[in-house]
Structure 1
Amino acid sequence: MSAIATSFDKLMQECARVPPERARELSMAGHVAGSVMSPADLLSYLIGWNELVLKWLDRDDRGEAVDFPETGFQWNQLGALAQKFYRDHHALDWSELLERLSMAQAGLTRAVAARSEDELYGQPWYGKWTKGRMIQFNSASPYANARGRLRRWLKEMT
């Protein structure tokens, strides 16, 4: 929980520096080699993954099968999944994206807090990975990566 909170807070500090009028500017290296994206796409990607993890946890809590990574996508199709996330949130403006990401992060924090250490780290959940690691892979780690991308982008634009 500490890693999620710390990396999210640092990310949000960088997001606050993004001029909203440039949030849809396609000038940042994309998630697929040779592609470009906007800061808004970057937030859409984070929202998509955070909400996907919440979906995984909800399905698991209800005893339903979890379709990793997402229905209709395989692990070798993450570029296509990123493009889906960009499309899913394209209608949202910068402030709406920030709010949606904050809500998703808060949901993850609640989900982690509601689980025991044993449930999070006591046994594998997907392959060799525990729930705790799967959550981290799709929250704290991507927040730190996104922060670095935004920092580089902000530096390049000045």
Structure 2
Amino acid sequence: MSYSYFFVLLQDMFREKFAQKELEVNHMTSYESKDVLKQAIMKTYNQYDEEFDMISEEMKDDRIEDVSRTPTENLAYQVGWTTLLLQWEQDETEGKVVHTPAEGYKWNQLGALYSLFNEKYACQSLVALRAQLKQNVLTICDMLDRMSEEELFEPHQRKWADEATAKAVWPVYKFIHVNTVAPFKNFRTQIRKWKRLKQV
């Protein structure tokens, strides 16, 4: 691993580790209704997904020195977080204990969690990862349909949401935003840079 690549990776890990804290300081996007949130999710997801149309399976694991993730690692991040988001809601609905961010992981162990995402998902094909992400996004939209505006936008509507943040009080929509719209935008920028440097 070259020094420059390690530096980019380190920057990326720190940026993600403190993303939640940064968002707590008035950087959060707000939405007028759950329909507006759903529209934002689908728009950013479709834009993100389209970036993979011209990337072949042969290139899915190619690493570019100035980009911290390969195409499969980029998708693995999205699949990992959207899967966890759905799991939090499902577990609470079923009366189970909810572990945030994931069972066996704390919020200060995101680097290890991302390694788990890569181990679990990045070994799959781009086709499989894109299909799983699409299914997760559609399931999240279905989840939104089942929620009232109050459940989505008012605080203290889900135990998992209250327990996930130490100081800030986040309504459910904020967790949905930071695990869909925000990373779809940010990681689209990453994959576009990968494509540009790879000349795809």
Q: Same fold (TM over 0.5)?
A: yes
**Does 2:180 align with 1:143?**
no
Tell me the matched-pair count.
Answer: 152
Aligned to 2:104: 72
Partner SS state of residue 127, structure 2:
helix
**Does 2:66 align with 1:15?**
no
CA deviation map 1:25-80 (0-9, x unaligned): 122633xxxxxx31101101110100000000101212333211111111111111
What code does the residue aligned with 1:2 have? Q
2:153, 2:73 → 1: CA distance?
31
Partner SS state of residue 29, structure 1:
coil
Aligned to 2:119: 87
2:141, 2:132 → 1: CA distance?
14
CA deviation map 1:68-117 (0-9, x unaligned): 11111111111110110010013311111111111111111111111111
TM-score between both structures, scaled by the size of structure 1: 0.90
Aligned to 2:13: none
Structure 1 portions without partners, runs of 5+: 31-36
Aligned to 1:129: 170
Identity %: 25
State the structure with more CA Rg: 2
1:3 deviation in Å? 1.2
- Taking a change above 3 Å as real, the CA distance of residues 100 and 77 of structure 1, as seen in their structure-2 partners, is same
Aligned to 1:29: 67
**Does 2:40 align with 1:3?**
yes
TM-score between both structures, scaled by the size of structure 2: 0.72
1:143 deviation in Å? 0.8
Structure 2 portions without partners, runs of 5+: 1-37
Q: Which has the bigger relative contact order, CA under 8 A and spacing at least 6? A: 1
